[in-house]
């Protein structure tokens, strides 16, 4: 069906359509490779930007688990030993995880900083 629409559109023009095999079509190959290089550079840039984040998460988790901040954080149910499903467990980088996901405490300004960075960065998609 799609080919028929293209055929009807191009039938009004006097042109020749020729097939170029993959090795002969150097321009298309160069364009596809060019895109991949740009993506690799952007990925490397994102990795470089986010290296300090685990340290900030760990510092906020340590502060949130102090006895004076524990009631403000409302994590009493998460650290009890009689609820094995919802227990904070250490991750390989030292941060704490809740059910296999990184735990971001409400203590400090960490959550709003992460949201700000992810939405206001010039590398994000959101306007």
| Residues 17-47: tens digit of each pLDDT | 777 676 666 666 555 655 555 555 555 555 5
Q: Give the list of residues 6+ apart from residue 126 with CB closer than 8 angstroms, or none.
A: 119
Is the model's pLDDT at 84 over the cut of 60? no
Measured at the CA of 47, the angle between CA 123 and CA 89, to 5 degrees, comes to 115
Classify burial at 99, counting beta carbons within 10 Å of its beta carbon; exposed 0-12, middle 13-18, buried 19 or more: exposed
Is the model's pLDDT at 14 over the cut of 70? yes
Global pTM reads 0.45
Least confident of 29-33, 57-61, 83-87: 83-87
Measured at the CA of 22, the angle between CA 16 and CA 27, to 5 degrees, comes to 75
Which is more confidently placed, 3 or 19? 3
Give me the helices (H) in 16-96, please.
26-49, 53-64, 67-73, 76-79
């Amino acid at each position: 069906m799609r080919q028929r629409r293209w055929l009807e559109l191009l039938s009004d023009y006097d042109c020749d359509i020729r097939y170029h095999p993959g090795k002969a079509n150097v321009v298309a190959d160069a364009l596809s490779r060019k895109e991949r290089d740009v993506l690799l550079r952007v990925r490397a840039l994102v990795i470089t930007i986010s290296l300090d984040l685990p340290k900030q998460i760990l510092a906020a988790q340590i502060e949130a688990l102090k006895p004076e901040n524990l009631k403000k954080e409302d994590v009493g149910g998460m650290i009890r030993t009689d609820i094995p499903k919802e227990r904070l467990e250490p991750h390989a980088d030292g941060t704490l995880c809740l059910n296999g996901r990184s735990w971001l405490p409400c203590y400090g300004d960490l959550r709003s900083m992460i949201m700000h960075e992810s939405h206001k960065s010039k590398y994000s998609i959101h306007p």
